[in-house]
Structure 1
């Protein structure tokens, strides 16, 4: 079976054991190649991803599209520094991306800013078109992005500490989007953090696209979850038909890391 897509991890919380020359940070950035295009999914926090890309021989100048899973700093903060290496034509986001994000620090009774650090006006001044995904939006003939995830699993809840906007209201993460790559007769789903729940996301994609999800890849925000919660999630993913699970960043169980390359056929 011929290769359809290739995913290279430019930055993650950890470094692959075989790539000692690379560096890690709390963040995520993936370089995705399809038969039609090359694009980035998330940009990490500081721009370290672009230094790693150079060490790996990844040509960032080919990047014309950038997809940001949501506007937290560890996924979107590295975007402005990317402009030193390429000139993206389009930035893909979900709705309400520009509502500022915070996390409540109970110990110090304060709200900590967790947003991307740049604005819509900045993007306009850089000459980049923002494209907002409302449901399903194709990037090319092979790849789509999806948002607007429905709630199927009541136990997948968003921690109360995550709030947004000047009124610090609970953040529903309706800006969250994921990437869909072709895999055989089905799909690979690539996620940034899965704040809305990985099971909710997979169930929504299966229903909306009427296609099986064979693989999930990325962060599922269960690094502080109990073993019971993690086991239940893995069991339910299997029941939903997911055969391959490649986790990183905020997942609690990681088998992807900076320097990893995953091929999808």
Structure 2
């Protein structure tokens, strides 16, 4: 049995939930419970209580990448869990910035993890940093660093890292997703898919040897990318024939609307309180 419940998202899907700019999911697979990301710290604990997700049952936290909206809630959940293993890429603490233009003004702000590693370890975090595809528990895999192979998935030019006294585009090499094989194919849970949803899915298929993609859930970052990349991504995704496409967070409403048009009854919003069950 596999159940994925969305605890943090920009939009609330059910009464009494709290929305925020961020993402987190509560993953239950057989006897294993894992927290995937921790949101931006506004609603994760309250939403877990509201939707019946016992954070104390989670033995591990998996981080999709080092942005604030996936990690700011860590100081709230780490003490609740106790001494969780925190699985992430070695580059998770990279200094990061986001840039946007407001009229003639360019605004740049820090968007990396707002907490030092030492502080999180004092709270009880036990970091397990790996860059390759690996199994963290029976039937639960993390992609680690995803090879960038598709010609059309170019990343977000507004995400920056310091470089030689200036800034350059952040490739977000620490971006990783969770891969959950089932009897009907792979369920792939993404935080933001900065590596590209197609790169991620192709790598998951190659790494597991399972070609069927049963479900794609979570953030896709398609809302911040070009319309052409959205169309190319949808075409490639359709060729994989997923049963479910359930999007959250950085997908954005315009991109989600196009995905809904494309996938019809196979499309779902993955908002706060949404729960997905796979046998």
2:31 alignment partner, SS class = coil
Please tell me whether residue 115 in structure 1 is matched to residue 112 in structure 2. Answer: yes
Determine the C-alpha separation between the residues in 2 that align with 1:235 and 1:105.
29
* TM-score (norm: length of structure 2): 0.87
Match of 1:209 in 2: 208
Tell me by how many angstroms 1:244 deviates. 2.0
Partner of residue 192, structure 1: 191
**How far does residue 122 in structure 1 lie from its aligned partner after superposition?**
1.5
Superposed structure 1 runs of 4+ greater than 6 Å apart:
none
- Report what 1:70 is aligned to: 65
CA RMSD, 1 decimal:
1.8
2-structure distance, mates of 1:163, 1:67: 23
* Counterpart residue number, 2:139: 142
**Residue 93 of structure 2 corresponds to which residue in structure 1?**
98
Q: Which runs of 5+ in 1 are unaligned?
A: none
Take 2:225 and 2:84, find their aligned partners in 1: how far apart are those partners? 38
Q: Paired residue for 2:148?
A: 151
TM-score (norm 1): 0.91
Q: Could you tell me how far 1:47 is from its partner in structure 2? A: 3.8
Aligned length, in residue pairs: 260
Shift in CA distance, 127/82, structure 1 to aligned 2, threshold 3 Å: closer
User: Which of 9, 12, 18 is residue 9 of structure 2 equivalent to?
Assistant: 12
Q: SS in structure 1 opposite 2:222?
A: coil
Structure 2 match to 1:56 = 51
Q: Is the 8 A contact 1:14 1:258 kept in 2?
A: yes
Match of 2:261 in 1: none
Per-residue deviation, 1:232? 2.8
Tell me the CA shift for residue 224 of structure 1: 3.9
Cα displacement (A) at 1:37: 1.0
My pick for the range that moved more, 162-171 or 110-119, is: 162-171
Q: 1:124 aligns with which of 121, 132, 135?
A: 121
Secondary structure of 1:187's aligned partner: strand
Q: Cα deviations across residues 131-167 of structure 1 (Å, max 9, x unaligned)?
A: 1122122121121111221222211111222112475
Partner of 1:238: 238
Distance in 2, Cα, partners of 1:169 & 1:241: 36
Gaps of at least 5 residues in structure 2 are: 257-267
Q: In structure 2, how many angstroms separate the alpha carbons of the residues matched to 1:105 and 1:251?
A: 18
Q: Per the alignment, do residues 92 and 188 of structure 1 end up closer, same or farther by CA in structure 2, a change over 3 Å counting?
A: same
Q: Cα deviation per residue 1:188-208 (whole Å; 9 max; x = unaligned)?
A: 110000111101111111122
